[in-house]
Amino acid sequence: MRLFWLVTLGGCGLSVLATLLVERFLATRIAIVGSAIGLVRSFNRGVAFGITLHPDIQIFLIAIALFAVFWMAFRAKQNPLAQVGFGLIIGGGIANIFDRVQDGFVTDFVQVGSFPIFNIADSCITVGVVLLLLEALTSEKARKKKR
């Protein structure tokens, strides 16, 4: 489980640091690839993809989801890919909670086309989910091969 904790702390730390830097230094949009990709500070009061619910319901759902992922992480067979996936999801989730608790919203800053603006924590969560799906698919293939 050492890899899990390392990835959790690293993902959370990087996400929190990036948000602090954006809040301190990013006053206007920085173009990376013209108008297609850039850094622009945005405040998200909602949850995934800007969906907004009553604040009490949002906090409750976020807490339930984080608890569920922790529970799955400790019950699952822990190969390195699963440890990294769970660590990224939990690290990103904790970072977004830290950000939200301060002022009621999450600071997003990565703009890619017309996709909703996101942050490093959101990226950690997304990559973590993709890794867990990949791990599930490869584990299933290995089980079928053994039969």
Q: Which of 56, 99, 103, 108 is catalytic?
A: 108
Active site residue 108: yes
DSSP per-residue codes, 29-95: -EEEETTTEEEEEEEE-SSGGG----HHHHHHHHHHHHHHHHHHHHHS---HHHHHHHHHHHHHHHH
Pair of tokens at residue 28: 């206007």
Active site residue 122: yes
Residue 19 class from Cβ within 10 Å (0-12 exposed, 13-18 middle, 19+ buried)? buried
The 3-state DSSP class for residue 112 equals: strand
Catalytic residues: 108, 122
